[in-house]
């Protein structure tokens, strides 16, 4: 079977010979070499879909994103100090994308953060679309603890894929 695999790879412009020669370049693709995510790496995975600048919605989104940044710094600080955290970058990544590590060939496109409005008298939890790679956060979060509590409940309270 190994010989068939090599022959199949070589049928594409001698690809297996290239892999065998420059194996160190292909190591991240053919082996699982995930490392703990850092705040910087995690942040670079996402872009923010903002409302129009100067609007009330934009102002509320900026409040939420400030608390999001505070939360990410808090997680990073605890990781560096060797403390346990309620939420890890890997759990946030899994919640937003369905993957607990960055794929070897990266995601097909950048993940995004979008916003929704909380309805009066109710509390809607953050949610995601793992197919579209979108994390939805509520607008107007003014306290880091409030965002942490909402995300913790959403992450820990979800059943996950195939766990019904």
Q: Confirm whether 123 is a catalytic residue.
A: no
Which residue matches tokens 């607990």? 100
Neighbours of 23 (CB within 10 A): 10
Q: Given this model, what pLDDT does residue 66 score?
A: 97
Which superfamily is assigned to 39-157 in CATH?
A: Hect, E3 ligase catalytic domain (3.30.2410.10)
Band of residue 164 on the pLDDT scale cut at 50, 70, 90: very low
Q: What is the pTM of this model?
A: 0.79
pLDDT, position 33: 64
12-27, pLDDT tens digit by residue? 899 889 988 988 888 7
Domain boundaries, the chain: 1-31, 39-157
């Amino acid at each position: 079977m190994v010989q068939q695999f090599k022959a199949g790879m070589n049928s594409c412009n001698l690809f297996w010979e290239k892999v065998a020669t420059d194996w160190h370049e292909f190591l991240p693709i053919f082996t699982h070499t995930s490392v703990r995510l850092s705040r910087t790496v995690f942040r670079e995975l996402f872009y923010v879909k903002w409302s129009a600048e100067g609007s009330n919605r934009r102002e509320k989104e900026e409040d939420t994103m400030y608390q999001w940044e505070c939360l990410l710094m808090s997680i990073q600080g605890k990781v560096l100090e060797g403390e346990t955290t309620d939420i890890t970058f890997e759990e946030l990544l899994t919640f937003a994308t369905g993957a607990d590590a960055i794929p070897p060939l990266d995601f097909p496109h950048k993940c995004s953060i979008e916003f929704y409005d909380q309805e009066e008298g109710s509390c809607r939890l953050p949610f995601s679309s793992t197919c579209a790679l979108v994390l939805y956060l509520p607008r107007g979060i003014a306290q880091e603890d409030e965002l942490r509590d909402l995300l913790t409940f959403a992450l820990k309270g979800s059943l996950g894929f195939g766990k019904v």
